[in-house]
Amino acid sequence: MEGNILKMKTELKDVVQYHLPIGDELIHMNPLIGKKLTMSFDGKINCIHTGESIKKSFGQGYSFKSFRSLAQCDMCLVRPETCHYADGTCREPEWGVKHCMIPHYIYLSVASGLKVGITRETNLPFRWMDQGATSALPILKVKDRLTSGLIEVELSKSYADKTNWRKMLKGDVEAVDLEEVREEIYETFGNIIDDYEAEDLEEEILEINYPIESVPEKITSLSFDKKPLIEGVLTGIKGQYLILDTGVLNIRKHNGYSIKLDY
DSSP 39-74: EEEEEEEE-TTT--EESS-BTTTB-HHHHHH-GGGS
Residue type at 89 in one-letter notation: T
Q: Closest Cα partner for 16 from 25, 6, 1, 28?
A: 28
What does the pLDDT look like over 214-249, one tens digit per residue?
A: 999 999 999 999 999 999 999 999 999 999 999 999
- Tell me, what DSSP letter sits at residue 5? B
Beta strands at 206-207 and 135-142: parallel, antiparallel or unpaired: antiparallel
For residue 22, what is the enclosing H or E element?
Answer: strand 17-22
DSSP string, 198-222: PEE--PPPEE----BS---SS--EE
Element spanning 11, H or E: strand 9-11
In this prediction, residue 172 carries a pLDDT of 84
Q: What pLDDT is attached to residue 174? A: 87
Residues 205, 166: Cα–Cα separation, whole Å: 24
Low-confidence ranges of the chain (pLDDT < 50): none
Residues 76, 41: Cα–Cα separation, whole Å = 32
Number of H helices, E strands in the chain: 7, 16
How do the domains of the chain map onto residue ranges? 2-63+212-262, 69-207
- Which three-class secondary structure state does DSSP give residue 183? helix
pTM for this prediction: 0.94
In 3D space, the residue among 190, 198, 189, 241 whose CA is nearest the CA of residue 220 turns out to be 241
φ, ψ for residue 122 (rounded to 5)?
Answer: -80, -5
Q: Is 212 exposed, middle or buried (0-12, 13-18, 19+ CB in 10 A)?
A: middle
